Structure 1
Amino acid sequence: MKMPENQQTSGENNPKPPLELIESLLESINQTQTLKLKWSLIKTKLSNLKTNLLDLATFPPTSISNELLRSLTVTLSEALTLSLTCHTSNPSSGKLKTQSDIDSIASKLEFHIRDLHVIIESGVLQENNVSTASKREGVRIHARDMITRLQIGSTESRAHALDSVLQLLEKDDKNVVIAVGQGIVPVLVRLLDSGSSAEVREKTVMVIARVSGVESCRNALVNEACVTLQSLTLLKENAVVISSRGGVSLLLKICESGTPTAQACAAGVLRNISGFSDTRECFMEDHVILVLLTLASSGILLAQEHSLACLSNLIRDDDDLILLVARKGGIDCLKTFWDDSGVVAQSLEVAVEFLCNLASEERLIELIISNGFLFRLVRVLNCGVLSVRIHAANTIYKMGYNEKTRKELGDFGFIPLLIRMLDGKAIEEAEAASKALSAILIYTENTKIYKKDQRGIASVVRLLDPLVTGLDKKYPVSILLSLTRSKKCRKQMVNSGALLHLEKLTAMEIEVTGLDKKYPVSILLSLTRSKKCRKQMVNSGALLHLEKLVAMETEDGLTNPVNG
């Protein structure tokens, strides 16, 4: 390829062609006296660049290649000037600044090498002089040129190319079909990468929306884009961009009429998007819940899982939406998924979390119980997946909202399973179990079941240790309060070290999250019934401290929550 004679660079009237500049730069690098290792890396890049330029020279000039060569000439000229400053051991700009400048040149050369490779491999250079006998062929060549430009150059040039692409596609649906045939979809998906600027991502979503608007192109878009979108929408900024540009509506259409695999993929993207509060308003269309529930009941297992997870995200902390989902058959969908033999334990996390969110609405709890979910919860409390057990325990806590349900929870055998969870290595598991038990033990008869477990007292006392952090102490304190009427339990508390932990908690100057100090004080008061315990408290000085705390509680008008 003959190099253009009229190339211009800023500050130079007669710039050298790139190949000549490379030879001059290589000669100059050989004479550098400082940062030689950095310059040796530049030499390697120049060798690759030279090979690409020789390949480029076999094609006739085009506007896209001329633009790239002009940019490359500027970079090579800057590199040559910089290399001359390194012919001495002390560059005029200082070594740190010079090192930074060399790194910048190396990065630019890497981009030029990549861009040259793209335009050579794209086939766009062969088509520059092809006779465009038809309008369709002209659109195809223009689309190929634009697709190539989307893959090279600066952020600004790519944003400009996206404008041109959108302009081409908006003229005719046939142009969309042609562009998809030329491979625009995978290029657009790559542009959604988090490394792109916000402007590029927004414009890319607009182009994707245009492509998805043509039914014959929708499957190609799904097959290429959805898997990538699932990973991209794990990031909030990507999820917000896609949802704000009509992405939710397009994905819902795929959930309605796509292939089973496409439906699962689209539901997975919706699941990610719905996980961010900033995107929830994009799901407020009337048919959203119906589409997701339909897919949750009739799609393949993966589609069901993603749909339930999306619904779970949407109903969280929204009582009206919880009731709507229940009325539209959400509980039946949940049962179908939960009981499917193909569902593995890890996938049950979605089901149990969905149930936990439904149980936030007390008006649904009787319905949940009548549909057999206590049996299902007992089974998953035994599973080997930590997150499933935690969600199950949190669900039990919400379900223990009145005396009737607390009695049922005790009768179903939850207490021994939850006591075992108190000893879990993860503090989140221990807290979830202590929350659930604190609710169940409000029903006095359930304390008899608790007392039968030899580990019960020691396990909950361990959680009172101030060194056990990240756990709300009010739940283990509440459990112990429920058991202080029993002389045997009070003795076990003392033997397990409860006295020491309670003294520390009441004496701590800083506040313990969620803990009202009157409750550990109440436990200490109940323990003073034991002569041995009173003696220990006198010897440690805790009795005097306790008297002061009781006086303070009395002045504040707070009452002892434990009778007697």
Structure 2
Amino acid sequence: MEEIPQIQTFKGKWSVIKTKLNDFPTQLKDLSDFPNFSSNLLSSDLLNSIYVTLTDTLSLAHKCRNPSLSVGKLRTQSDIDSIGAKLDQHGKDCELLIKSGVLQESCGSSSMNSKRELVRVEARSLITRLQIGGQESKNAAMDSLLRLLSEDDKNVLIAVAQGAVPVLVRLLDSSCVEIKEKAVTAISRVSMVDSSKHVLIAEGVLLLNHLLRVLESGSGFAKEKACIALQALSFSKENARTIGTRGGISSLLEICQAGTASSQSVAAGVLRNLAWFPDIKPNLIEENVIPVLISLAHSGTTVAQENAVSCLCNLVIDDENLKILIVREGGIECLKNFWDGASSGKRLEAAVALLRNLASCRPIADIIVSNGFIPRIVGVLSSGVSSLRIVAARAVYELGYCTKWRKDIGECGGVPPLVKMLDAKAVEERDIAAKTLSSLMHYVGNRRIFRKDEIGIIGTVQLLDPSIHNLDKKYPVSILFLIVQSKRCRKQMLASGAYAYLQKLTEMEVEGARKLLESLGPGKLWGVFART
């Protein structure tokens, strides 16, 4: 401070430096008031940095005392500006260190009696270090934070609660590539913990833009980590729109074609999420996504294939032209290979869902049947997974649109597992089973199979119960109407309580209920005797 009045060169700039220096005694006094000030590593590092800056300032002040400074004026001016920027940063670092609370904590205090508390203190310290000092210090802090996050999902939650996410997002704008890539890695780790995703979503477009830039120009490793984060964020319609309209699709497709095996998997996962939103589909089609997805479904890793098939499944919903395009691009053969290689229920569910969506187009349904898919889909009806049985039954319903295919489905054993599904726990499963049977039983041979076991009739009658909600009653009514001409079946219906149910359904004006009730009329005493 004593040197500044004697300075003869760049007096205006030195006047600003003097103002900044005047603030330091107060800030340093505030820091020293904390009991852990002298033992805290962050405060020690900060004091060392301030000391170096003040030493450089004094040396530069001596140089500027010469009024006839004739050499290196531009360099000197730049050095003064650099000193000013460093002093500003030191001031911000002092303020941040005071507000962070790390100087109020000590690893030796009695409150540090749990692992959770130790992790919280460490996380807060690391997050503070990421905002103070130079690149070397921040890089080391990033390494420590990544280690902490990788140990346990609970550590991720603790770090997020300490404000890690906004700090990591700001580091995505770092001029240091290494720090930037580590920040992407940390964000991808946070995105893998469901209860932390909302914090990432709150960062909005700023985070998405950073991640999309990584997709464009980052290393292969960084691109994979960015895809992991985007996969978690792309379930939101707003985020999906941002990704789809800001160049994300072309970058994702490039990764699907030329990226590492693991990055292809997550890139396809992002595309799968985008394809769910109708507004994004035109962008995907414009980028010629179909051939890339079919190629990936042929030759990618297990996860990449599953995500590619799921993406195709989402794309073709309510779009006949896309369904035809997939078939032309070799989609049926690809689906067959994927199906036959499926080793898990989840993987098979993706294949069955695509089959179901394609089969809703009648010309494609014929191609599917001619490629031997009826035995495959009937086999899935006996799966031990409810969700898989449901999607399989929907596919069977789409394929059974004509007598010939209904006959084939029945001869392949499709009726008994559907009858069994009528007694499932999930109402959704019972509903689709009834719907599918109501179609298949238009073929007389399937009616004969259904009548062989009274369990089918009993199960169907139970579905008439008005107290069972979210189940379309017209389907069990249709099933029973198709077999009501059989005296034995009428007796079984009445004995199971069908008459009382149908009276209520008739009052509710359920389609077909009145006709079935009238058909049961001559034998309604059976129902009375059966219930007494």
* TM-score, normalised relative to structure 1: 0.68
Return the offset for 1:187: 5.5
Report if aligned partners of 2:406, 2:443 keep a CA contact under 8 Å in 1.
yes
Query: Which residue of structure 1 lines up, in the alignment, with residue 94 of structure 2?
Result: 69
Residue identity in the other structure for 1:529 = P
2:330 corresponds to 1:318: no
Counterpart secondary structure, 2:346: coil
**CA displacement, residues 179-201 of structure 1 (integer Å, 9 cap, x when unaligned):** 57874533565798531465x44
Residue identity in the other structure for 2:307 = H
Change (3 A) 1:110 1:530: same
Return the offset for 1:252: 0.7
Query: Which residue of structure 1 lines up, in the alignment, with residue 43 of structure 2?
Result: 54
Return the offset for 1:67: 1.2
Query: Which residue of structure 1 lines up, in the alignment, with residue 185 of structure 2?
Result: 186
2:214 corresponds to 1:211: yes
Query: Which residue of structure 2 lines up, in the alignment, with residue 18 of structure 1?
Result: 30
Query: Which residue of structure 2 lines up, in the alignment, with residue 466 of structure 1?
Result: 466
Change (3 A) 1:462 1:49: farther
Report if aligned partners of 2:188, 2:228 keep a CA contact under 8 Å in 1.
no
Report if aligned partners of 1:212, 1:250 keep a CA contact under 8 Å in 2.
yes
Change (3 A) 1:224 1:507: same
Change (3 A) 1:156 1:345: closer
2: CA distance, partners of 1:380 / 1:126: 54
**CA displacement, residues 195-227 of structure 1 (integer Å, 9 cap, x when unaligned):** 1465x442333333333333xx44122343333
1: CA distance, partners of 2:441 / 2:476: 11
Query: Which residue of structure 2 lines up, in the alignment, with residue 138 of structure 1?
Result: none
Alignment gaps of 5+ in structure 1: 24-46, 80-108, 128-151, 169-174, 509-515, 541-564
1: CA distance, partners of 2:288 / 2:138: 49
2:522 corresponds to 1:529: yes
2: CA distance, partners of 1:263 / 1:74: 43
**CA displacement, residues 309-337 of structure 1 (integer Å, 9 cap, x when unaligned):** 11001001111111111111111000001
**CA displacement, residues 262-306 of structure 1 (integer Å, 9 cap, x when unaligned):** 212211222223223343233122521000011111222221111
Alignment gaps of 5+ in structure 2: 1-19, 51-85, 105-120, 140-161, 192-196
Residue identity in the other structure for 2:30 = P
Residue identity in the other structure for 1:373 = F
2: CA distance, partners of 1:400 / 1:66: 75
Query: Which residue of structure 2 lines up, in the alignment, with residue 259 of structure 1?
Result: 260
1: CA distance, partners of 2:422 / 2:267: 39
Query: Which residue of structure 2 lines up, in the alignment, with residue 137 of structure 1?
Result: none
* Greater helix fraction, Structure 1 or Structure 2: 2
2: CA distance, partners of 1:316 / 1:49: 65
Change (3 A) 1:67 1:494: same
2: CA distance, partners of 1:248 / 1:296: 18
Report if aligned partners of 1:52, 1:117 keep a CA contact under 8 Å in 2.
no
Residue identity in the other structure for 1:249 = S
Change (3 A) 1:229 1:158: closer
Return the offset for 1:400: 1.7
Matches within 5 A, 1:396-545: 396-508=396-508, 516-530=509-523, 532-533=525-526
2: CA distance, partners of 1:415 / 1:157: 59
Report if aligned partners of 1:346, 1:385 keep a CA contact under 8 Å in 2.
no
2:223 corresponds to 1:222: yes
Counterpart secondary structure, 1:530: helix
Query: Which residue of structure 2 lines up, in the alignment, with residue 376 of structure 1?
Result: 376
Report if aligned partners of 2:214, 2:223 keep a CA contact under 8 Å in 1.
no
2: CA distance, partners of 1:116 / 1:418: 61
Residue identity in the other structure for 2:264 = Q
Residue identity in the other structure for 2:130 = V
Q: CA RMSD in A?
A: 3.7
1: CA distance, partners of 2:165 / 2:186: 14
Return the offset for 1:535: 7.0
Between 115-124 and 445-454, report the one with greater CA deviation: 115-124
2: CA distance, partners of 1:441 / 1:534: 25
Change (3 A) 1:48 1:525: farther
